[in-house]
Amino acid sequence: MFNKFMYNPGVAGAYPELHATLLHRNQWVGIDGAPTTSNLNAHAYVDVLHGGVGLNVLNDRAANLSMKTISLSY
């Protein structure tokens, strides 16, 4: 699995270094209203909190429907 944090926010801070991922997908290229998905996420261990924090930003669009999601994890 390439991006564990996207599927399991409990992974935030599981590693000592900062992890960040940017994904973008276009489906049915050249067709009007074709679905697109963009995802940006980052997570890191924070000593002061004795745990991890993470941010996940997701943008899905298909035709005239759109969904934007921002999630914080601790």
Residues whose CB is less than 8 angstroms from the CB of residue 24 and which lie 6 or more positions away in sequence, other chains included: 36, 37, 38, 39
Backbone angles phi, psi at 3, to 5 degrees: -125, 85
State the pTM of this model: 0.83
Which tens digits make up the pLDDT trace of 24-69?
A: 999 999 999 999 999 999 999 999 999 999 999 999 999 999 999 9
pLDDT at 1 over 80: no
Range of the domain at 20: 4-73
The CA-based angle 40-42-46, given to 5 degrees, is: 165
Total domains in the chain come to 1
- pLDDT of the residue at 7: 82
